[in-house]
Every structure is written in structure tokens, then in C-alpha cells.
Amino acid sequence: MRMGWPWRFLLGVLLVNEGAQAQPPAALSERTAAITKKIDAELSDLENLYKHLHSHPELSLQERETAARMAKELSGLGFEVTSGVGGTGVVGLLKNGPGPIVLVRTDLDALPVTEQTKRPYASTVKVRDKSGNEVGVMHACGHDMHMTCWVGTARVLASMKDSWRGTLMFIGQPAEEIGSGARMMLDDGLFRRFPKPDFALALHCDSRLQAGRIAFTEGLALANVDSVDILVRGRGGHGSAPHTTVDPIVVAARIVLDLQTIVSRETNPLDPCVVTVGSIHGGTKHNIIPNEVKLQITVRTTKDDVRKHTLEAIERIAKAAAAVARAPEPDVKIDPNEFTPSLSNDRALTRRTVPVFRQVLGDTNVEERPPVMGGEDFSRYGRAGVPIFMFWLGTIPEDRWAASLREGGLPLPSLHSDLFWPEPQPSIRTGVLSMSHAVLNLIGK
């Protein structure tokens, strides 16, 4: 039987406050040795799992085979597994007596990117996207590494049940890349059908950080993310007679330029805001003025009032540009299904976990990083009332990192690049070691 909420709340407060102190070195060293021994035994198999996942990526909302593999991994370790949560989501519970409930999350989906890494296990998968276009598919954001570390952590913790008490809640979440998966799982009763966790943990690959290191941010870490589509309408005709038309390409160009004034002239310079037109499509031939142009925009903010103002400004600017050109009113759509709220790491949980990382990995291998304007729907579990902590996993070997700093060296690719790939073994080692320690620090005896 789970404790009523007042006792669970009190337990959570006590656990966080208690954990603010560093762990006894001897006990931590013994625990590290046990985790490392298990990682050594599993590393070859985990690397094979990573390469398999990398070679067999699936797009958001299509992660059926990936989810089935994650469910199979958990079932083999004795987890009670439920599939099909929020679409293709997986929930695994491993109960080991009374104690805290700790959620560990991985994402499952890949991106519509054609891989160019030339790794022997590179993805050659091509599929049709939701618009019917053929696209390459690649784990260009490291979700394959996330899953591998998640499985490795599950194996470590399942083998160390005499060292902890409580419940592990491992979830495989779909559709992170389109900002929908966490919402879909929550809407499908994640915290009603299953126990609501006391803490939630996740890691994310960092494409600019050396393997063997991790980074963290206390408090605000990632931004609000919105997707905006604008259909600019005009009246098409012959390119030699523009006076007989209303040119939507000119209207769209005006909109693109005027959008830049939202950041430069309408928002406080101290409040982060990004408005990026990532896609513009219109026309079919040199001498034809089209009837319409389509714009796709990503908006990043950190404050809810700035988000509201920016979205309203986009609509205002689009309609004004059309009115000036005597064009029909444009269609401005803000997709609520692709909204990702900003992510704030729980301060108490962060302060409890980071000292353990420093003891295990060494001070020089744990660094604090400022917030960035990327987005992550892991934030939704925090908005649902659970203390969350996401940290960043270094994936780049020292030689590649050092080469990128030399004059004339190739810069390291960013996440979502067709050239990004983590170094498997050191990334897996650090990911499993750090996440295992993070969980045991919350749930260990």
C-alpha cells in the first residue's frame, strides 16, 4: 500500500534535505565498484544494443519496434510492463518494498535526417513522413544512447535489489522530437493508472562535451518551444505582369524581415526570445507568381508573458503585411500539440544529486552550464507536480574534441546534425554510472 500524500510529501522533503550532504566516501566507493562491475559485464551487449537502435530508427509516433524492444528488455529484468501508453509509450515498474518511487525516462523517437556519419552501423532507413515525402531517418539527437543508458541502468539496479528499497518506474516515451509524447502519456493516465513518482530523472546527450563528463543546470534549463505556420495568400499570375497580381512572395519576405523586430524592438533585451523562420515554400517556376507561400516558424522563450506577447506579435505582423499589400488575410496557426513548456530542474533535487556526481566522476568532470534555448518535453512531468532533474551526458572522445579546437579543425556537429555520433563505450559507461548513482542516491538503503 502506498502512503497517503501528506506522508509521501514529508518523506520527499526529508529525503532531499538529507541528501544535500555528500555521501560517505567508503560507502560510495563500494557502491561505485558494484555498479562498475555490472557495467563491465554488460558493456559489450549494451554497445550492440546501441548500434542496433542506431541502425533501426523510427520517427515520432511510429516507434513500434523500438518500444517493443524496450518493453522486452524491462520484462526480462522482472519489471511489470505496460505497453501502448500514450500511443507507443512503455511503462515498467519494479517494486522492492516500501520507499520512494523514482521515475527514469528515456525517449524513443528519431528525426527525419539522412545520416552522413559513415559509421559502419549508420542508419540507411528511409520512410514516408506525415506529408508523404520520402525522408531519411536518424537518431541525430542521441535518443539511441538515451535508451541504451536507460536499459543499462535498469540492469544495474535490478541486480542490486539488496541495496535499495522502493519502486523503480522506467518509462519509454514516444514523440519527444515533436513535443507531444509526454503530454500524450500524461493524458493517457500516466500518473493515474500508475503510481505518481516522488522524483523523475533523465539524461540527454551533449554533442559539444567530452565523453566521461556530465553537465547540469540548476533551475531554468531549457526554453518554451512553439511551432507557428503561416499561409500567406495572394493572387497569382504572370511574372511579366506583376501589377495584375498580389505577390505573396513579396508579402512573405516582408513578414520574415518584420518578424525580426519582435526580438530587437518589442521584447526586453534581458528576456531571451528567438523567432526563426525555418522553412519558406512558394512558387513553381521562374515566371509564375504563385497564389500562396507557406512559412514555418519556431519560437523560443523562457517566460510565459514573453511567449504570449511574441505569438500575438507574429499574428499582428503577418496580418499587417498582408493589409499593406491588399492581400487576403493570412492564415496563422499555432500548433498546441507541438508546444513544449520550459524546463526547470528542481533545485533541491539538483543540489542533492550533483555532489554525488562530483564524488564519483571528479570535480573536473562535472560542470554547470547556463540555460539554452532548446526544448524538452520532460518538463511536463515537472509541471505535473513531480520534482525533475535532467543532466547532460558528454559523448565526444578527447581526441575529436581537441582536434575541433585546433586552427583549421572541423567544428563539432550540433545535435540534430547529420554528422553527430556519440562515442559508444565511454558514453554508455558514464551514462549508466551517473544515472545508477542518481537513482540509488534517492532510493538506496
State the pLDDT confidence band at 3, using cuts at 50, 70 and 90: very low
Predicted TM-score (pTM) of this structure: 0.91
385 in helix, strand or coil? coil
Average pLDDT, the chain: 94
Query: What is the structure's pLDDT at 17?
Result: 45
What is the predicted pLDDT for the residue at 22?
A: 60
pLDDT at 1 over 70: no
- Sequential DSSP letters for 43-97: HHHHHHHHHHHHHS--BTT--HHHHHHHHHHHHTTT-EEEEEETTTEEEEEEEES
Check residue 10 and give its pLDDT.
41
| Average pLDDT, integer, range 70-78 | 98
Contact assessment for residue 354 and residue 362, using Cβ atoms and an 8 Å cutoff: no
Q: SS3 of 304, please?
A: helix
Percent of the residues in the chain that have a pLDDT greater than 90, as a whole number: 90
List pLDDT tens digits, range 385-440.
Answer: 999 999 999 999 999 999 999 988 889 999 999 999 999 999 999 999 999 999 99
* C-beta of residue 437 within 8 angstroms of C-beta of residue 39: no
Is 19's pLDDT higher than 70?
Answer: no
Span 201-257, pLDDT tens digits: 999 999 999 999 999 999 999 999 999 999 999 999 999 999 999 999 999 999 999
Nearest-Å Rg of the Cα atoms of the chain is: 24
Go through the chain and tell me how many residues it has: 445
pLDDT band of 27, cuts 50, 70, 90? confident
pLDDT at 188 over 50: yes
**pLDDT reading at 18 higher than 50:** no
Give me the domains of the chain, ranges plus CATH numbers: 5-223+342-443 (3.40.630.10), 224-338 (3.30.70.360)
Contact 400, 412 (CB under 8 A): yes
Average pLDDT (350-356) is: 98
pLDDT range class, residue 114, cuts 50, 70, 90: very high
pLDDT at 9 over 80: no
pLDDT tens digits, one per residue of 148-182 = 999 999 999 999 999 999 999 999 999 999 999 99
